[in-house]
Amino acid sequence: MLYANLGVNELGHLTVAGRDTVRLAKIYGTVLMLLDEMVIRNRCRTYRRAMEKAFPKGSMPLFASKALSFKRIYEIMQEESMGVDVVSCGELFTAYKAGFPMDKVYFHGNSKTDEDIRFAMDCGLGYFVCDNKEELLEIERVASARGIQQKVLLRLTPGIDPHTNEKISTGKVDSKFGAAIETGQAEELTLTAMGLSHVELVGFHCHIGSQIFEHTPFCDGAEMMLRFYAHMQKTHGCKATVLNLGGGMGVPYTEAQAPVDYEGNILRVGELLKVLCKELDVECPIILMEPGRSIVADAGVTLYRVNSTKSIPGFKNYVAVDGGMTDNPRYTLYGAEYTVLPASRMEEKRDFVCTVAGRCCESGDILQENVSLPKMERGDILAVLTTGAYNYSMASNYNRIPRPMVLMLGEQDDYVAIQRESFEDLIRNDV
């Protein structure tokens, strides 16, 4: 099967981390998102160890919590000695309430408000990853009023095409994010930052895109960033010591995609930086990386209950489930591929090729097409794999559908990490 934590038991049911998914669906109801805690922890460890090996002391991975944000995940990240990247005050607040150390939090975003900046400083935020001049000047103004020095990294666009979906590609020159190196705007922003007395410029950041399988875009991005870093040091006496290379390493969603060698990729970037540092005659900067998807995606499995099936003779077949674009909008948005398994009929012949449709009142609410399943019946359980990243975090209440429960499969016990939303939750803010 696609991942090592999946299996089939004597009842012909799909198991995740040794647990019978059909049983879990019965106990907790559907839609149910399962998260295998050990997969998450092990991936954190892979990143941490590889980065310790490849880069100078102080280098570490930050979990990009836009992929999955709730209190417990920040506790796990703290236990695994990770930093975190947040992209809104909502994520920041969640981390804060979970007791995550604020000096290991990096606040992203291309359009921060004055309130965002003040709120983050109230929380004692470690680092802003500053996107533009207006933001930089506002940080200076607030920091100065408070009599503090605020640590800042600058978001740059290195001009790399990562060969991924346009909507999740972020490092090209025409990106909405950051200041482009190629146009001289990155240098301008750096000089502005260096001239401010309450901003401490600690480093530079880039993120080239997401779901990237090759290592070359990362190496190219790292090289561009290091050359810029060295140039700022040599020509302007810039004292920055950090390069944050962003996230983006891919995860296989289907058998057709090859697994990514995370450690290998990191070591490759490390080797390249060593060579380049020698050539440029600079000390190797502290390296940060921001994996999101590759920390949590394959830890997630979503369970649905089948409500109906239909065959339209000469056209196509449908299986309709009790969730859909409200808990996973990624097929609707990106045409994202997923592996769908008949959790309650794993041993049966899969000769019913169908579209798995959601319950929302629109035709585009599809989870996947061309799925081969056995003939399913009302009450059967379907599993969609690799739903740990950008599913719950992108879930909505469209059609006033409550968001699912998130059940953590711990090393020993299962526990609820996010309660299922209730109808009362849905009307909480209605007046």
Return the active site residues.
361
Separation CA 326–CA 141 (nearest Å): 40
Burial (Cβ within 10 Å: 0-12, 13-18, ≥19) of residue 310:
exposed
Which of 61, 171, 247, 402 is the binder for ligand LLP (CB under 6 A)? 247
Q: 286 forms bridges with which residues in the sheet?
A: 242
Please, which residue, 211 or 302, has the CB nearer to ligand LLP?
A: 211
Choose one: 6-14, 51-59, 246-254, 340-348; the region binding ligand LLP (CB under 6 A).
246-254
SS3 of the chain: helix, strand, coil, percent, to 5? 35, 25, 40
Task: In angstroms, give the least distance from the CB of 18 to ligand LLP.
Answer: 27
Burial (Cβ within 10 Å: 0-12, 13-18, ≥19) of residue 334:
middle
Total of residues contacting ligand LLP (CB under 6 A) = 21
Would you tell me how many other CB atoms lie within 10 Å of the CB of residue 275? 10
Residue 46 has which token pair?
A: 């892979």
Task: In angstroms, give the least distance from the CB of 213 to ligand LLP.
Answer: 11
Q: Which amino acid is at 388?
A: G
Question: Which helix (H) or strand (E) covers residue 365, if one does?
Answer: none
Does position 210 interact with ligand LLP (CB under 6 A)? The reply is yes
Does position 215 interact with ligand LLP (CB under 6 A)? The reply is no
Contacts of ligand LLP in 73-112 (CB under 6 A): 85, 108
Please, which residue, 110 or 241, has the CB nearer to ligand LLP?
A: 110
Task: In angstroms, give the least distance from the CB of 332 to ligand LLP.
Answer: 11
Which of 67, 77, 196, 376 is the binder for ligand LLP (CB under 6 A)? 67
Choose one: 71-79, 204-212, 340-348, 397-405; the region binding ligand LLP (CB under 6 A).
204-212
Which residue in 353, 350, 359 sits closest to 320, CA to CA?
Answer: 359
Task: In angstroms, give the least distance from the CB of 109 to ligand LLP.
Answer: 9
Please, which residue, 177 or 380, has the CB nearer to ligand LLP?
A: 177
Burial (Cβ within 10 Å: 0-12, 13-18, ≥19) of residue 168:
middle
Long-range contacts: 223-227, Cβ < 8 Å, 24+?
Answer: 223/272, 223/276, 224/158, 224/159, 224/160, 224/181, 225/156, 225/158, 226/273, 226/276, 226/277, 226/280, 226/282, 226/285, 227/276, 227/280
Does position 330 interact with ligand LLP (CB under 6 A)? The reply is yes
Please, which residue, 21 or 328, has the CB nearer to ligand LLP?
A: 328
Please, which residue, 167 or 349, has the CB nearer to ligand LLP?
A: 167
Contacts of ligand LLP in 5-44 (CB under 6 A): none
Asked whether the CA dihedral 81, 83, 86, 92 is positive or negative, the reply is positive
For residue 430, report the phi and psi dihedrals to the nearest 5 degrees: -75, 135
Please, which residue, 5 or 387, has the CB nearer to ligand LLP?
A: 387
Task: In angstroms, give the least distance from the CB of 245 to ligand LLP.
Answer: 9
Residue 114 has which token pair?
A: 């004055």
Does position 358 interact with ligand LLP (CB under 6 A)? The reply is no
Choose one: 22-30, 215-223, 289-297, 354-362; the region binding ligand LLP (CB under 6 A).
289-297
Task: In angstroms, give the least distance from the CB of 211 to ligand LLP.
Answer: 6
Please, which residue, 248 or 270, has the CB nearer to ligand LLP?
A: 248
For residue 426, report the phi and psi dihedrals to the nearest 5 degrees: -65, -30
Does position 50 interact with ligand LLP (CB under 6 A)? The reply is no
Contacts of ligand LLP in 135-194 (CB under 6 A): 168, 170
Give every CB contact of residue 167 below 8 A, 6+ residues apart in sequence.
Answer: 333, 334
Residue 218 has which token pair?
A: 């990362």
Choose one: 186-194, 259-267, 292-300, 399-407; the region binding ligand LLP (CB under 6 A).
292-300
Please, which residue, 159 or 342, has the CB nearer to ligand LLP?
A: 159
Which of 248, 270, 285, 323 is the binder for ligand LLP (CB under 6 A)? 248
Helical ranges in 55-147 per DSSP H: 71-79, 89-97, 114-123, 133-146
Choose one: 112-120, 274-282, 291-299, 316-324; the region binding ligand LLP (CB under 6 A).
291-299
Does position 292 interact with ligand LLP (CB under 6 A)? The reply is yes
**DSSP states of 21-51 as a string?**
HHHHHHHH-SSEEEEEHHHHHHHHHHHHHHH
Does position 290 interact with ligand LLP (CB under 6 A)? The reply is yes
* Interacting residues with ligand LLP (CB under 6 A): 64, 66-67, 85, 108, 168, 170, 207, 210-211, 246-248, 290-294, 330, 389-390
